[in-house]
Chains A and B, each alone.
Chain A
Amino acid sequence: NAGVMQNPRHLVRRRGQEARLRCSPMKGHSHVYWYRQLPEEGLKFMVYLQKENIIDESGMPKERFSAEFPKEGPSILRIQQVVRGDSAAYFCASSRGDRGTGGIGQPQHFGDGTRLSIL
């Protein structure tokens, strides 16, 4: 499967625990995005990363949430001290970073998402 890979598909945590969500972009893609989908809502942008750089984190909550995309390995979305309101589907997407456009406008291809449930 050459698509965007997210794991785990389902994650259950108790309040106060940490959640780590992983995303491996499509082959040849150097841009990664994280979106959150609350029940019965559309997707909301959280953060946009390139290798070792955060480009736009305007959608990230100020506290408890962090994201990284290291030189080697998958992108990680980390949620510390989870609360019930963090229950949602978290989608990762990736796109190419063409020289001419810097990746702007390139179609974003989504993974299957991670369903996070907080007990």
Chain B
Amino acid sequence: AQTVTQSQPEMSVQEAETVTLSCTYDTSESNYYLFWYKQPPSRQMILVIRQEAYKQQNATENRFSVNFQKAAKSFSLKISDSQLGDTAMYFCATLNYGGATNKLIFGTGTLLAVQP
């Protein structure tokens, strides 16, 4: 079974600093996608960034970037210049490619608090 592990239940960072959230996963598939979603106190689920496993280049979206290490099955999220609005629960997720299904497998989340 595919699993996603986020080993940091909570993290804290000062405003304007950089923070890295960890994620490891286990899959027997060779083709898959990786995602980070953000869930702020409003409880919405917001897509932050997406990485295709066959691409070696790390994805970047403004202040958000990933460090994708395929051999180590690691997919960490770096947030630069942290802002108060980044305070949220962050979920790492995987999705297999090539099968008939399209389900996301989520980790248990990391609660990030950005301190002023």
Contacts and interface: CB of A to CB of B under 8 A. Distances in A.
Contact of A112 (B37, B43, B95): B43
B47 interface: yes
B106 A43 contact: yes
- Residue with the greatest number of chain B CB neighbours at <10 A, chosen from A31, A45, A59: A45
The size class of the interface chain B forms with chain A is 20 to 34
B98 interface: yes
A91 B106 contact: no
Interface of B: 33, 35, 37, 42-47, 50, 52, 91, 95, 97-109
Contacts of A95: 102
Contacts of B109: 42
The binding surface of chain B is classed by DSSP as loop
A8 interface: no
B100 A107 contact: no
The size class of the interface chain A forms with chain B is 20 to 34
B104 A35 contact: yes
A107 B35 contact: yes
Interface of A: 31, 33, 35, 41-45, 48, 55-56, 58-59, 89, 91, 93, 95, 101, 103-110, 112-113, 115
B104 A108 contact: yes
For the complex of A and B, 9 pairs with smallest distance between CB atoms: A110-B45, A56-B101, A45-B103, A42-B106, A43-B106, A42-B108, A105-B33, A105-B97, A42-B109
